[in-house]
Amino acid sequence: MLKQIFLCVMLLALSPTGFAGQAFTEIARGGHGALDIEPYFRNLQRPASPNHWLAAPAGFPGNPDAPAPVFAVAHSVLREAFRAVVMQTPGAAVGSESATGMHVVVSTRIFRFRDDVHVQFLQLGPRQSTLALYSASRTGYWDLGTNRRRVEDWLARTEAALRAR
């Protein structure tokens, strides 16, 4: 039974879909390896598959799956708290970053699939900010909810870190 489940998961994950995160990553880089996050989100075309999740403010491009919280801190403080959460996550590595954005690559625990997470930090006022957080699998059709859980976990941990400051 375990062997059959493994084979099913592998077939789903390795299906040739053509929407791998490589294209997402290339859009986010401004041609010179620097992260240019605004065009990434402005041009985001989400696949029809269920292997991605976007939390962002209402009206944000890409039709968010969930609203992003508003934090009572400047976006630079939010960025540092979020970065600390990412660095505490097993398998996560910051690929590139700027003052307003970040690209993180996460290797999944069991099968070592690589997922891309793009983040844009948005200043709403002098002491108010939010973010757009998009996590997407590079391969496969279905992610068993991994990207959604990651986004929800990182948002909750970021909120807790900022409350503890």
pLDDT for the residue numbered 34: 60
Residues in the chain, pLDDT under 70: 1-34
Instruction: Print the domain residue range for 111.
Output: 2-163
Nearest to 82 by CA among 155, 9, 24, 23: 155
> What CATH number has the domain bearing residue 39?
3.30.310.80
What is the reported pLDDT for 110? 83
Average pLDDT of the residues of the chain: 84
Using an 8 Å Cβ cutoff, are 57 and 130 in contact?
A: yes
Query: For the chain, what is the domain count?
Result: 1
Neighbours of 39 (CB within 10 A): 12
Q: What is the pLDDT of residues 13-41, one digit of tens each?
A: 443 333 333 333 333 444 435 678 999 99
What span, in angstroms and rounded, lies between the C-alpha atoms of 149 and 3? 26
The predicted structure's pLDDT at residue 21: 39
Q: What is the pLDDT of residue 36?
A: 86
